[in-house]
Structure 1
Amino acid sequence: MLVASNQNWKDAPRSISRSPQAGHYRKLLWFKQPFPDNYTDEATFLDHLQRNPRLQPYEFWSLMSDATIIVQHLASVAVFCCCFVAIIHGRVSPVAVVGWASLCTVLAWALWDYWKGQELRKQRQASPSLTLDLKAKNAPSRPSSRSSQQRLTTAKSAALIYAALLGLSPILKSLTISTTSDSIWALSTWLLVINVAFFDYSGGSGTQLPASMSTNSAMMASAVLASRLPSTTHVFSLTLFSIEVFGLFPIFRRQLLAQSWPGHLLLTTVLTMAAWGGVFVTLTGGGRTAFVTGVILGCSLTVLSMGICSWWLIGLQKYKNEIHGPWDPARPVISSLGL
Structure 2
Amino acid sequence: MGSDRLLDPSDALPNSLGVGRKRNERARSESRKPRGNYRKLLWFKQPFPDNYTDETTFLDHLQRNPRLQPYEFWSLMADASVIVQHLASVAIFCCCFVAIIQGRVSPVAVVGWASLCTVSAWALWDHWMGQSMSSSLDILPAPTPPHTAGETSTSSLSPRTEQRLATAKSAVLIYAALLGLSPILKSLTRSTTSDSIWALSTWLLMINVAFFDYSGGSEAHLPASISTNSAMMASAVLASRLPSTTHVFSLTLFSIEVFGLFPIFRRQLRARSSWGHLILTVMLISTAGGGVFVTLTGSGRGAFLVGMILGGIVTFFCMGLCSWWLIGLQKYKNEIHGPWDPARPIIRRHWD
TM-score bucket of the superposed structures, by smaller chain: 0.7 to 0.9
Matched residues in 2 for 1:143 and 1:307: separation?
Answer: 54
Once residues 117 and 276 of structure 1 are traced to their aligned partners in structure 2, the CA distance between those partners, rounded to angstroms, is 36
> Is contact 1:69–1:203 with CA below 8 Å preserved after alignment?
no
- Moved runs in structure 1, 4+ residues, more than 2 A? 23-39, 131-137, 141-144, 205-210, 332-339
Moved more, 198-207 or 96-105: 198-207
Query: Paired residue for 2:284?
Result: 271
Instruction: Return closer, same or farther for 1:135/1:314 CA change in 2, 3 Å cut-off.
Output: farther
Separation in 1 of the partners of 2:222 and 2:39? 44
Shift of 1:335: 5.9
Q: CA RMSD in A?
A: 2.4
Q: Are 2:239 and 1:237 aligned?
A: no
Deviation, 1:136, is 10
Alignment counterpart, residue 178 of structure 2, candidates 158, 165, 173: 165
Counterpart residue number, 2:315? 302
Aligned length: 315
Matching residue's letter, 1:284:
T
Query: Secondary structure at the residue paired with 2:55?
Result: coil
In the other structure, the counterpart of 1:97 is 110
Q: Provide the C-alpha distance between the structure 1 equivalents of 2:285 and 2:147, rounded to a whole number of angstroms.
A: 52
Using the TM superposition, give the Cα deviation of residue 212 of structure 1 relative to its aligned residue in structure 2, in angstroms: 1.1
Cα distance in 2 for residues equivalent to 1:179 and 1:36: 71
The structure with the largest alpha-carbon Rg is 2
Q: Mark the runs of 5 or more structure 2 residues left unpaired by the alignment.
A: 1-32, 149-153
Change (3 A) 1:209 1:331: farther
Matched, 1:73 2:86: yes
- The change in CA–CA distance for 1:287 and 1:209 in structure 2 (over 3 A counts) is closer
Mapped partners of 1:36, 1:116: distance in 2: 60
Uncovered stretches (5+) of structure 1, i.e. residues with no partner: 1-19
The residue that corresponds to 1:7 in the other structure is none
2: distance between equivalents of 1:134 and 1:99? 46
Shift of residue 37, structure 1, vs aligned partner: 3.0
Range with bigger deviation, 32-41 or 89-98: 32-41
State the percentage of identical aligned residues: 76
The separation in 1 between residues aligned to 2:276 and 2:346, in whole angstroms, is 40
Query: Hey, what does 1:320 align to over in structure 2?
Result: 333
| Higher share of residues assigned helix | 1
Question: Which of 226, 244, 263 does residue 250 from structure 1 map onto?
Answer: 263
Which runs of structure 2 are paired with 1:23-62 in the superposition (5 Å)? Answer: 23-30=36-43, 33-62=46-75
C-alpha change, 1:89 and 1:199, in structure 2 (3 Å) is: same
Match of 2:211 among 198, 203, 211: 198
Task: State the SS of the aligned residue for 1:38.
Answer: coil
State TM-score, norm by structure 2: 0.84
Contact (CA 8 Å) 1:177, 1:227: kept in 2 or not? Answer: yes
2: CA distance between counterparts of 1:136 and 1:282? Answer: 67
Native 8 Å contact 2:207 2:227 kept in 1: yes
